[in-house]
């Protein structure tokens, strides 16, 4: 069944959630995998995300009630896992219902590249389900940097991870989802994007400079 799923997904969307309350104040990022389709239908797709266990379920309710300093301390003790959402529409809807928008960047990757990326993340999910990795770093090992890493492992052109700024604040903020849009577009690995929000949607096509 796992092999059939890998062959089913041929399209990849880098998905960035806009700023919101709580743990998503600087946005969130995940990957959406879909079969070939002429109409963008999220219910046919699956989402995979890197996230801290304190951001989900009962732990999330406890986390939301803490002050800012306590939240940062909880990051160090939280397990950094891969979460699989079999219905990408249901997963996206929770953010849209909170008033956030999601931009889905349409990749130019080949079927084989998409398959390999999916396979890598699923394999890491199995490993992190068994071993409690507490390797989350708010500055350089978070939901967006992990996705850049796995994509860069299968492409000749790389999404830029490091800022060339000499200012520490710029370098720190450079790693967050809400600041990732320009780097995704500049990589030329993505052809266009679709933005979904409450009661609206829009699309944008990117020029590919050779």
Top-level CATH class of 2-51+81-205?
alpha beta
What are the tens digits of pLDDT across the range 30-51?
Answer: 999 999 988 899 999 999 999 9
Q: What is the largest CA-CA distance in the chain?
A: 50
How confident is the model at residue 1, as a pLDDT?
40
pLDDT band at 161 (very low <50, low <70, confident <90, very high): confident
* Extended beta strands in the chain, E state: 11-17, 28-34, 46-52, 80-85, 102-107, 190-197, 200-205
Per the CB < 8 A criterion, the answer to whether 151 and 112 are in contact is no
Angle formed at CA 18 by CA 17 and CA 21, multiple of 5 degrees: 105
For residue 168, what are its two tokens?
């520490």
pTM of the model: 0.89
Per the CB < 8 A criterion, the answer to whether 7 and 104 are in contact is no
Using CA atoms in the order 108, 110, 116, 119, what is the torsion angle rounded to 10 degrees? 70
Smallest CA-to-CA distance from 145 within 54, 32, 27 is with 27
Domain ranges of the chain: 2-51+81-205
């Amino acid at each position: 069944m796992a092999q059939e799923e890998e062959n089913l997904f041929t399209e990849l969307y880098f998905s960035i959630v806009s700023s919101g309350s709580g743990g998503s104040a600087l946005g969130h990022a995940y990957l959406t995998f879909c079969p070939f389709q002429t109409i963008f239908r999220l219910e046919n797709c699956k989402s995979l995300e890197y996230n801290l266990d304190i951001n989900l379920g009962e732990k999330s309710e406890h986390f939301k009630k803490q002050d800012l300093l306590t939240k940062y301390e909880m990051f160090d003790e939280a397990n950094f896992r891969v979460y699989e959402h079999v219905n990408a529409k249901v997963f996206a809807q929770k953010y849209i219902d909170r008033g956030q928008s999601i931009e889905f960047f349409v990749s130019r990757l080949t079927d084989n590249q998409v398959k390999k990326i999916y396979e890598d993340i699923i394999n890491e999910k199995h490993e992190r389900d068994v071993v409690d990795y507490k390797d989350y770093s708010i500055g350089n090992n978070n939901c967006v940097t992990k996705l850049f890493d796995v994509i860069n492992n299968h492409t000749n052109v790389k999404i830029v991870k490091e800022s060339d700024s000499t200012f520490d604040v710029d370098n720190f903020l450079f790693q967050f989802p809400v600041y990732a849009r320009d780097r995704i577009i500049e990589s030329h690995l993505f052809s266009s994007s679709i933005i979904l929000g409450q009661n609206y949607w829009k699309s944008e096509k990117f020029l590919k400079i050779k």
